[in-house]
Structure formats: structure tokens, C-alpha cells
Structure 1
Amino acid sequence: MDLEAAGAGVKYLIRDRDAKFPPLFDEILAQAGIQVVLSGIRVPRKPHLLHALREYKTHYNRFRAHQAIEQATPLRAVPAPITDPHRITNLDIRRHDRLDGIIHEHQHAA
């Protein structure tokens, strides 16, 4: 028994892009008057990827030193040089990890 014999008219078949559907499958459906509609491409774990890219972008533009602009960051002004030797020996540097420790940011404590 096929669908036409049962009185069901099929116009569209929605399927994924799996290789288990050979081109012959689409040809047979086209001969029967059925249009094949491919489902959208899926990206597993896309939200995690977008989160990681946002974190890296923030790190790159706010905290990472760039040699082309005198070791400053694109979104901050060049800091004043430290000339007092006492202040250099007593620097309090804090580390902040991003992306579970993949990226490390270092800042002077206030």
C-alpha cells in the first residue's frame, strides 16, 4: 500500500542532508510529484562557540597589549609610565582568568 492508494496526497518531503539519501531518492520523489525540502544546517554547541568568541573579542580589545600602539590596548589610553622605583617594586598585579583559564588578564590592583 502506498500513500496515493490510501488517498493521501503528498506535496513536500522535508529531510536532512544526510548521505543516506542518494540522488536517486530525490529523482524518484520528483517523478512522483513530490518536492524535496532540505532542512537547515545545524551547528551543535553554537551558543558555546559564540560565548567563547565574545570573551576573546573582549579580551583582545580591552586587555591584550598591542605592539603597534605602544603596548596599549585599543579601547584604553596609554598608561603613564612608572618612574618611581619604590612603586615598581611594590606593584600589586591581579590575574583574572577567562574561558576557564584559557585566557589570562593581568591588571594593577586599585
Structure 2
Amino acid sequence: MGQKAGSFRFLIRDRDAKFTAVFDEIFAGAGVTVMKTPPRTPRANCYAERWVRTVRAECTDRMLIYDEPHLRSVLDEYAEHYNSHRPHQSRQQRPPNEDEQVVVPMEGRIQRRKVLSGAINEYHRAA
């Protein structure tokens, strides 16, 4: 776990049997409070569940991940795409990092930018 555990205050997890008391103790020893979701409430952690489903469907299920540094690199690049470019229905097709409605010019060449070595493509109008 190393130095990163100190930057977290809470760990929210479900009640799966694979999380033993030893698992919780490791985090508690690093000063992280482990909080369990209520029993029989699959929607209690719905935002995290939706993120995991999206990142798997759009990213990791389409790639061969070699090791942990490669996974971290892929997830960092995907998170940048998700927050800066990917449209979200709940935000009127704007990405989370975009607060204002963007006016897209209707004329000009369309340029493609490859994300994750071409697994995802982003399209922009050329200025």
C-alpha cells in the first residue's frame, strides 16, 4: 500500500466475503477508516459501480494489460478522456470538466485524435 494510503481518509467497500478482517486491519493501520455499504443495497455505491462498468466496457476489456504500471498509465489516460472529452447525458452532452456550453463550429475539417493507441477516438473541428 505504501505512501498512497496516507492520502485517503475513507475506504467504502461492499460486504463481499473476499474482504476479510485482515483486509480491514491493513487499512486501519494506515489510518484509513473502512466503511461497509449497507447489506442488500446494490445501489448504495452506484456511482463507483457505474464508473467501473464504464471503464471496463470502454477501456480495459479492449486491451491487454501487462503489469500495474501499464494499468495505471491506461487508467490515467482514460480518466483524462472521460473527464475532459467524453460526453455525459446528465450534463447535456458536456464532459465533467466543462462548465459552460461549448459552441461547436459547423464548418471546417474534422480532426481525429487517438486515445489509448486508437482504442478510443476523439473528434474535433479544426480551427
TM-score, normalization: structure 2? 0.43
| Structure exhibiting the larger radius of gyration computed from Cα positions | 1
